[in-house]
Structures are given as structure tokens and as C-alpha cells.
Structure 1
Amino acid sequence: MLRALGFPRCPLRCPRVSRRSFADQAATPVPVSYCVFDGASTQPPLVFLHGLFGSKGNFASLAKEIVRRSGRKVLTVDARNHGDSPHHPLMTYEAMSDDVHLLLLQLHLERCVLVGHSMGGRTAMAVALRWPELVERLLCVDISPRGPSAVSKFHPLVEALKAVELPEGVPLSTARRLAQEQLRNTIQDPPILQFLLTNLVSSEGRIVWRVNLDAVSRHLDGLMHLPDFQASYLGPVLFLGGAKSPYISSEDFPDIERLFPEAEIEYIPDAGHWVHADQPQHFVAAVCRFMEQPPP
């Protein structure tokens, strides 16, 4: 029933995966990069999946706090074309869920708690719907299966990032300042601009975008909604929205209830789309409450 409710060095492991072309392996999962925050509990670990333009580092401080409060191990994962994961021309929810499935198999995780924000939330939904036996419970942060379309907003943003021109040989701090000057007319929200600039990194003596903008641009339309699924996931699900965000509305409830009949919906006050950044303590508390619910 759908119910709407109002790095320590030792435990951290971040394997880097070399970037290469996977054009000839379009249907093959890629080995994504991840970090592990160890906990003493033998209960299923949490696996965090980030949103568009994000990376596994977005959840580092939250992962430590959840380990401290729950004892569970936490993994944070870079999606393909993001962070330290490989670049690949294919970027769909089917492909990204294949990557997560491969990671769970490689780590011999028989069950996990999937937590995904935005794009990562829809990836987590796809994993739960395709391999429900691997998902103890599912938490989707400020995203629904088919929420409001934002393609018209994202296409100009991606094109603006691709158009940034930087001189060779400048340090990263200078490059980010120059990029900021070129982008501020298109991206007028300072926090969003600063967040996007974290994707500008130094690699092999060059300043590059670590997010694969070509792949994002090519698949952006498809990322605005979950593919059609006929099956349902019958485990516990929490849709955790920001009270100031439009991404989970009453118009989404029928799709949520059809795909996730045991779902609850909760909104965190004074939070926008980045719920975990706007209200981190409330976010951690909600995650821990959800994990403490009795198993189905």
C-alpha cells in the first residue's frame, strides 16, 4: 500500500578503473569504481548511487555517519561516464543497472540496500525490478519513475559545459575560475555551478571534464524516465523527496504504486532536489529509520 508521510584511511577503498573505449562492447557491463566504508554489522550493506553530474564522493561524509549509527557497511559507486568509472558511449538505465548488477556479483553481495539519488534512484529502481532477490530494500531520493521532464533545462547546460575553452598549462584552480566565468551567464545558480565545476579535474597533465558530456548529451532524453517495466518490486521502498522539490508529486503516485506496491513517500522539510546536501542530518535519520523497519 502506498503511504505518503509527511574518510578514515583504513575502511576506505577506492579502486580506480582505467578509461578506455567500449564502443565494441555496447551490451557489456563495465567495471565501475567504488569506495567501501567498513562496518561491523553482518546485515546487508548500503549501496549509494549518485545523480547526473555527481560522483561517489557526494556521499562520503553521509556514508561515515551511517556506518557510525547503523554499523552497516556502505559502498558509494561511480556510474559509468562519471567520476573514476570508465567512459562508454552507451548510457541507459538498462546499461547502468547491468553495471551495478555486475558489481554486486563481483563483491559476492547476496543482498543489499540500494539508495539512489535522481539518476541513481532510477538506476536503483531498475536493479530492484530486474533482480529483486538482490535488493533487501530500496530508497529513492527525490526522483520518481516518471517525474517532471527537465530535458529542456539540461540540454543547454550540457552544451554550455562542452563549449568551455581553457588554455593549456593552467593549474586546476585557474581552470575552474575561467570555466566559472564562461558558464555564469548560462548557469546562474551559484551552488549548482560550483557543483558542476567539481567535474573539472586534472588528468595526465590536462584539464578535462571527468563526466562524459557526449554520452550524457546523446542519452539525456532517455534518462528523464524509467523504461517500461511490467513486473513489480514487492520489497520495502521509501521515496524520500525534498519538500521544496517538484520531482515526486501526486501525479507520480500511480506509477509508484504499480511498480512498488509497498512504497512509502516521505518529504524532508526545507530541502530541495539535493535532499542529502540540504538537510544531511534529516537525511541520515530517515535512512536509518527505514533500515530499522522489520524485514518483510
Structure 2
Amino acid sequence: MLRALRFSRWDHSSPLRLVILAKERRAFASNVVTPLSLSYTVFDGPSPQPPLVFLHGLFGSKNNFQSLAKKLVLQTGRQVLTVDARNHGSSPHSSLMSYEAMSADVQLLLHQLHLNRCVLIGHSMGGKTAMVLSLQRPELVERLVCVDISPSETSAVTSFQAFLAAMRAVNIPRGLPRSTARRLAEEQLRSTIQEPATRNFLLTNLVSSEDQFMWRVNLEAISHHLNEILSFPDFQTPYSGPTLFLGGSKSEYISSNDYPEIERLFPEAEIQYVSNAGHWVHADQPQEFLTAVCNFLELPPP
């Protein structure tokens, strides 16, 4: 585990910061978004400290973090929530797929659960959603963990367009048993997606409905908004809370080119890399991931 940087430069209480923050909130409010009620799972813990809220990445679901959530409850005592984003898992589908919309969904969930503060832990797309929420509503976020993602354009390091095309091309006849349907889908994905672990991850989205197998993730909405998902909204006001950017040493999603923007928007950030981990850090090295998160939670506030 390597600690690369720690930033601390912004005067968090300056009048200028408060004016800019108010202007940014009015700008976002002018873009009317109807938040959706998200599907989530709660893992209860005895601690009165703010809960941990996990936000998954593109093509993921709340199930990705269940085993880690249970271990974090035991290790920290905190309540842990795993959440399905809109157009993913068991959450509602919508034609809108923006970070402002996904942030609004999580804010609605926190309001519904009467949670005034939380620790946001987001992977990839979920990490960008967590960043946007932190920048919009910093009073809701005690700490922030961004897993293998930065507040920068990520189209150059992704294969998501190829994944979408391969998934949309899958054709499964009606009436097949699940094992046959899954094998057929995997065979059709293999020509485009050579990595077995990636194919198996995408196949977690294959579900049966009325004698027909289909993708539970909204491929149409994601395809339409993919450029927006791979980018990041413009912000001027930083989030001043404790922040951890946790990357995989074998991944390109957090590079030295991203450090200036991380420093600008998250001046209290630390950047760490987990050895022998790729983009799915929590799946590649779960114990190292847990250790990094628990150590971060124990750090005193700046």
C-alpha cells in the first residue's frame, strides 16, 4: 500500500467559498431532476457513528459489496448500506442517467432513512456519484472513499463501449433453462470480452422474466448517456472533508495526470494504491481493501 499524496490548501470557511457554493447549488437546482427511490440492503451495526454507504460501478449492483459489508460491520461496528443505482439491480429504470440525477437519488435515500451524515464509498461510476454528492452537499458526508476513479474524463482507459455493444448483441431464445441461457450468453460475449472474470461480472446482470432471459441493467439509457458517465461535471467549490482515493496498482483509472484535479476539488485527499489489484480493487484484493478503508475511518479529522 502506497500513500502518494495528501493535500490541504483551501480556506474552508472563507466567505468566497460560501458564495461559490450557494451559486453552484442554485445552478444544479435549476436543472430539475426527479429522484428515484433506490433499492438497498442494510447491514446493521451497534455503533452510533455515521453509516457506510456503498455505491457500485457501471454494470454492477448492491450485491457486489455484500460480503465486504458484513465484514465491515464486524470490524467497525457501523451500519452499512449497499445501494443499487438507477438503471441497475433492483432499482427503477429511467431514461435519465446523469451524475446529478444519481446524486439526487442517494440524497433522497438518506432523507428517507433519516440519515444526516454518512461515509460514502463509491467504486468507478459510484465513486463519481459519491464525489458529486460530496461537492453538492458536503454537510451530508463525513468522509469519502473513491475506489479506482478520479474526477476526470475516463473514456481513454475504459472498454465500456465494447461491453455495451457485446451485451446488446446477445440473443437468447425463449424457454431455455438458466444454465443453458448463461452458457449461451457467455459464448456470445467471449468474442469481444476475452477476460473470464469480466464476462462473469457482466453475466450477473442476466435475469429471467416471463420465460425470457434479459439484462436487468438498462443498456439503452447507459448507451445514450455513456459519454456523460465517462466525464465529470464542472465544480469550482471543493469538498473539504477527509477523502481517500484508493486505486489498483495495475489500473490506469487514477494516474498522476489526475492529481491536480484531485487536489483542486478534494484538498484533504490521500491517494493510495493496492498492490496486484486492477480496476475492481475490492474484488481483486478484498482484505487489503478492507484494511485501507478501516485505517482511513480511524484517522482523526483534519
TM-score by length of 2: 0.88
SS of match in other structure, 1:128: helix
Deviation per residue, 1:30-82 (Å, 9 max, x gap)? 00100000000000000000000000000000000000000000000000000
2:270 aligned with 1:293, yes or no?
no
Deviation per residue, 1:62-107 (Å, 9 max, x gap)? 0000000000000000000000000100001011001001101110
Whole-Å separation in 1 of the counterparts to 2:52 and 2:264 = 25
The equivalent residue for 2:276 is: 270
Please state which structure has a larger fraction of its residues in helix: 2
SS of match in other structure, 2:171: coil
The equivalent residue for 2:122 is: 116
SS of match in other structure, 1:178: helix
SS of match in other structure, 2:155: coil
Consecutive unaligned residues of structure 2, counting only runs of 5 or more, are: 7-31
Whole-Å separation in 1 of the counterparts to 2:249 and 2:203 = 26
| Alpha-carbon contact 2:173-2:212 (below 8 Å) kept | no
2:138 aligned with 1:163, yes or no?
no
Deviation per residue, 1:92-133 (Å, 9 max, x gap)? 101100100110111010100000000000000000000000
2:231 aligned with 1:225, yes or no?
yes
- Which of 195, 199, 204 is the equivalent residue of 1:193? 199
- Which of 70, 88, 95 is the equivalent residue of 1:89? 95
| Alpha-carbon contact 1:122-1:140 (below 8 Å) kept | yes
- Indicate the RMSD between aligned Cα atoms, in angstroms: 1.5
| Alpha-carbon contact 1:243-1:268 (below 8 Å) kept | yes
The equivalent residue for 1:11 is: none
2:48 aligned with 1:50, yes or no?
no
The equivalent residue for 2:112 is: 106
Q: Where in structure 1 do 4 or more consecutive aligned residues deviate above 4 Å?
A: none
| Alpha-carbon contact 1:147-1:252 (below 8 Å) kept | no
Aligned amino acid, residue 146 of structure 1: S
Superposed displacement of residue 5, structure 1: 5.8
Comparing 196-205 and 58-67, the one that deviates more: 196-205
2:4 aligned with 1:4, yes or no?
yes
SS of match in other structure, 2:250: coil
Aligned amino acid, residue 137 of structure 1: R
Whole-Å separation in 2 of the counterparts to 1:50 and 1:77 = 7
Superposed displacement of residue 151, structure 1: 7.8
Consecutive unaligned residues of structure 1, counting only runs of 5 or more, are: 7-25
Comparing 77-86 and 165-174, the one that deviates more: 165-174
- Which of 51, 61, 64 is the equivalent residue of 2:67? 61
The equivalent residue for 2:289 is: 283
Whole-Å separation in 2 of the counterparts to 1:42 and 1:243 = 34
Whole-Å separation in 2 of the counterparts to 1:80 and 1:151 = 24
Whole-Å separation in 1 of the counterparts to 2:105 and 2:276 = 34
Comparing 145-154 and 171-180, the one that deviates more: 145-154
The equivalent residue for 1:14 is: none
Whole-Å separation in 2 of the counterparts to 1:171 and 1:266 = 44
Whole-Å separation in 2 of the counterparts to 1:150 and 1:201 = 31
Deviation per residue, 1:128-170 (Å, 9 max, x gap)? 0000000000000000001542487322320111111111011
Comparing 97-106 and 201-210, the one that deviates more: 201-210
TM-score by length of 1: 0.90
